[in-house]
Amino acid sequence: MSASTTVVRTKPLMDMKQILLMNLGIFGIQYSLGMQQTAVTPI
């Protein structure tokens, strides 16, 4: 039996560009879902 080893996981650091792109992507998804909702409402 080998000695127990602990694995320490570190969180990946995000730079400002990655955070901005993530926020723009979420905004795009919300916008597209809103467009679909307005297209379905009159039916």
Q: Is 90 exceeded by the pLDDT of residue 21?
A: yes
Q: What is the C-alpha separation between 43 and 38, in angstroms, rounded?
A: 10
Q: Return all residues near 14 (Cβ < 8 A) that are at least 6 apart.
A: 22
Helix (H), strand (E), coil (C) string for 1-43: CCCCCCCCCCCCCCCHHHHHHHHHHHHHHHHHHHHHHHHHCCC
pLDDT in tens, 33-42: 999 888 876 6
CB atoms near residue 6 (< 10 Å):
4
- Give the mean pLDDT of 3-26: 87
pTM value? 0.55
- Give the mean pLDDT of 4-23: 87
Q: Is 80 exceeded by the pLDDT of residue 19?
A: yes
Q: Is 80 exceeded by the pLDDT of residue 2?
A: no
